[in-house]
């Protein structure tokens, strides 16, 4: 408790405005982070969604300058969407899961349609044609993607032409 009191005394001595309990409980003094910024594996770059959800841009930490565009809806042939909602990088950063048509379920849960984008050959394919997916995740080696649909686990094998198999069949709503 004495640490909190010391911090409050120090802040009040430096501040020109009055510190109140109301301001403290309304998060007026909370730290704010940089949203949407994700570090890349090399430790020298980070990526952010840009252009209002039209592209994924790589920046240099050292300068804050744009290095290149990793993905853009304008550069992909046969892209049937104009913006995307999120993305998930593969462990090797050679593929990106592009999240579109996000539909909230409850609080933090949602379904979405995902596309696999190959960074090297700039080719995009749907993760699945069977309906919206939930919580997709790359395997540690980046060769497979697991996801949930209708409370059942599915697996897409990238090395086998994105073949999809349903792993479970007993998924039940709210269980």
Residues 118-158 have pLDDT tens digits of 999 889 999 999 999 999 999 999 999 999 999 999 999 99
The model's confidence at residue 9, banded by pLDDT at 50, 70 and 90, is: low
Residues 18-30 have pLDDT tens digits of 888 887 777 777 7
CA angle 39/42/46 to nearest 5° reads 25
Higher per-residue pLDDT: 5 or 44: 44
Q: Across the chain, how many H-helices and E-strands are there?
A: 2, 12
**CA gyration radius, the chain:** 22
Mean pLDDT, residues 52-77 taken together: 92
Exposed (0-12), middle (13-18) or buried (19+): which is 81, by Cβ within 10 Å?
middle
Residues 65-115 have pLDDT tens digits of 999 999 999 988 878 899 999 999 999 999 999 999 999 988 888 899 999
User: How many angstroms separate the Cα of 150 from the Cα of each of 52, 99, 111?
Assistant: 30, 18, 10
pLDDT at 40 over 70: yes
Strand pairing category for 45-50 and 134-138: unpaired
Mean pLDDT, residues 4-33 taken together: 66
Rounded Cα gap, residues 42 and 166, in angstroms: 35
């Amino acid at each position: 408790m004495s640490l909190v009191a010391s911090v409050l005394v120090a802040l009040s001595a430096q501040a020109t405005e009055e510190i109140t309990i109301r301001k403290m409980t309304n998060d007026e003094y909370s730290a704010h982070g940089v949203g949407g910024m994700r570090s890349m594996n090399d430790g020298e770059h980070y990526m952010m969604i840009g252009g209002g959800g039209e592209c994924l841009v790589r920046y240099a930490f050292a300068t804050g300058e744009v290095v290149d565009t990793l993905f853009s809806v304008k550069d992909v042939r046969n892209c049937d969407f104009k913006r995307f909602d999120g993305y998930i990088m593969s462990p090797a950063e050679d593929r990106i899961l592009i999240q579109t048509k996000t539909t909230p379920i409850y609080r933090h849960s949602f379904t979405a349609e995902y596309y696999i984008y190959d960074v090297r050959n700039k080719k995009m394919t749907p993760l699945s044609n069977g309906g919206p997916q939930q919580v997709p995740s790359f395997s540690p080696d980046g060769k497979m993607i697991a996801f949930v649909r209708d409370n059942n686990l599915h697996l897409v094998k990238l090395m086998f032409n994105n073949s999809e198999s349903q792993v479970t069949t007993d998924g039940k709503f709210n269980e």
